[in-house]
Structure 1
Amino acid sequence: MKKEIMILTGAGQIGMAIARRMGYGKKIVVGDLNPESSEAVCRILNEAGFDAVPVEMNLSSRESILNLIAVARKHGEISMLVNAAGVSPSQASIETILKVDLYGTAVLLEEVGKVIKEDGVGVTISSQSGHRMPALTIEEDMLLATTPTEELLSLDMLQPDSIKDTLHAYQMAKRCNVK
C-alpha cells in the first residue's frame, strides 16, 4: 500500500525532530549528502516505529534533487517537504554556500512544487542570520524573487566581488530563503 510521503532533506537534529512530530503514518524519505547520516537518522526513526528510507542527495545538484523526488514518488504521493539541509559559514566557501543554501533550496522548492499533492505543505529551516544584515533593496528583493532558478547565481549582487565573506554569503542565502 502506498503512503503519503514526507521528504526530509538534511539528516540533522532539527529535521529529525520535525519528522518525528509530523511524519507518523507517512513514508519518510531522508536525503543527505552524507549517506551515513541519512542512514543513521532512518535507523533512529525506524526503531521508533516510523517508516523511513535513506537517499544520498546533494542539494547543490538539480539531478540529485530530481533523483530524490523520483525515489520518493516510487513510494507514494509527496504531501510534505521539510528542507533542513544546508551549510554554514564555518563549513564552506562563499561559492558553496550560495550553490547549496540559495540555488539548491530554490531548485528543491521548484521541483517539489511541481509534484507535491494539491494540499501538500513544506517548510525550509533557515537561520536568523538572514535578519542580521541590512534590508535588501526593493530591486534586490525583486531580482531574488523573479530571477529564473538557473540564473540566480549569475546575479551581480551574488558575485564574489559583491560578497564580503562567508558570513555575508550565508546571510544573503538565508535572507533569500525567508521570503
Structure 2
Amino acid sequence: MSKNKDVVVLTGAGLIGVAISRRVGAGKHLVVADLSMENAERVAKDLYNAGFETTAATVDISSRKSIQALIKEAQSFGEITGVINGAGVSPSQAPIEAVLKVDLYGTAVLLEEFGQVIAEGGSAVTISSQSGHRLGSLSEEESELLATTPTEELLNLEMVQAKNVKDTLHAYQLSKRCNVLRVMSEATKWGKRGARINSISPGIIITPLANDELNGPRGEGYRRMIDGSPVGRAGTADEVANVAELLMSDRGSFISGSDFLMDAGVTASYWYGDLSPKMFK
C-alpha cells in the first residue's frame, strides 16, 4: 500500500457514498469510514476488489474526537484532497435528540474539522436532503444562526430545543437546512485554503433504507411523492454520483458553497403542484 497519495475520505459507507467514491477515487487512497466497522470493511473490500486502494475505519460523526482520529488516520496515507460525507440518520431511525446530534451537530463538526486540513485544490460534497427544502422560510436571523453559530453551541439554539421541534421529521428538516447553510459558511473558509465544498439534496433514492420505507408504514407517502413528482420515478445512487463527480472535479472548479436539489421535482410539486398540502385539505 503506497503512502503520500491523494486521499479521499468517505464517511457513511452507504450506496450513495460508495457510488461517488467509485467516480472520484481511482488512483487515490480511499478511506472508507462508517459507524460500523463491519460495514466499512465490507465496502472497502468490495472497492479493493474493483481496483481501488482502500482502508476501512470507524467514525462517529457526532463525536469531534472520533472525527479527529479519522483525519489523523487518513493523513497517514497522504494529503486529504477529497471528502464525501454521506453519514447521518433518517427521521425513521432515531429520536429527535439523536437526529439533531448526528445530522445537525455532527455534520457541522465534520465540515469544520476537515476544513482545517483539506489540501489546496481539494473538494468535498456532503449529502443533505430534499427535506431541508420543505422546511419553509426561516427568518434572516435564524438562517444566520444555523450558518454561523460556533459548532459547540449549535445544540443550544432555541429553535432546536425539544419544545420547539415537533417531531423527528421536523428535526431532520432543520438539520438538513442547517447542512446547506453550514456549507455556505464553510465555503468561505475552505476558499482561503484553495478548496471547495458543496452539498447535494437528493430526493427518494433507491437504497435498502428507501426500500424499507417504501414497504413500511410511511410507504404510501413515499409512493405519493414519487407518483406526484414531475419526473415520476425514484432516483439511483449513480445519478447522485453524476452530480458529485462534477462538483468534485476540475470541471466544477467555479462551484463552491452551493446546494444541488435533485429530487425529480418533488419539492417543486410540493410548493406549487399536485403534492401541495393544499391539495389534501
Q: Which amino acid aligns with 1:90?
A: S
Deviation at 1:136, TM superposition (A): 1.2
Cross-structure match for 2:117: 115
Cross-structure match for 1:55: 57
Q: Which amino acid aligns with 1:162?
A: N
Q: Which of 1, 12, 15 matches 1:13?
A: 15
Cross-structure match for 1:87: 89
The C-alpha deviation readout for 1:62-87, integer Å capped at 9, x for no partner, is: 00000000000001000000000000
Q: Which of 18, 27, 30 matches 2:29?
A: 27
The separation in 1 between residues aligned to 2:116 and 2:135, in whole angstroms, is 32
The separation in 2 between residues aligned to 1:94 and 1:154, in whole angstroms, is 14
Greater radius of gyration (CA): 2
Cross-structure match for 1:131: 133
Deviation at 1:119, TM superposition (A): 1.3
Structure 1 consecutive aligned stretches of length 4 or more whose deviation exceeds 4 Å:
none
RMSD: 0.7
Identity among equivalent positions (%) equals: 60
Cross-structure match for 2:78: 76
The C-alpha deviation readout for 1:96-135, integer Å capped at 9, x for no partner, is: 1111011111111101000010111000011101111211
The separation in 1 between residues aligned to 2:78 and 2:101, in whole angstroms, is 29
Q: Which of 101, 104, 107 matches 1:105?
A: 107
Which structure is richer in relative contact order (CA contacts within 8 A, separation 6 or more)? 1
Long gaps (5+) in structure 1: none
Partner of 2:166: helix, strand, or coil?
Answer: coil
Count, aligned residues:
179
1:157 and 2:159 matched: yes
Q: Which amino acid aligns with 2:18?
A: M
Partner of 2:178: helix, strand, or coil?
Answer: helix
TM-score norm. by structure 1 comes to 0.98
The separation in 2 between residues aligned to 1:38 and 1:126, in whole angstroms, is 21
The separation in 2 between residues aligned to 1:48 and 1:112, in whole angstroms, is 27
Q: Which of 170, 173, 192 matches 1:171?
A: 173
Cross-structure match for 2:5: 3
Partner of 1:28: helix, strand, or coil?
Answer: strand
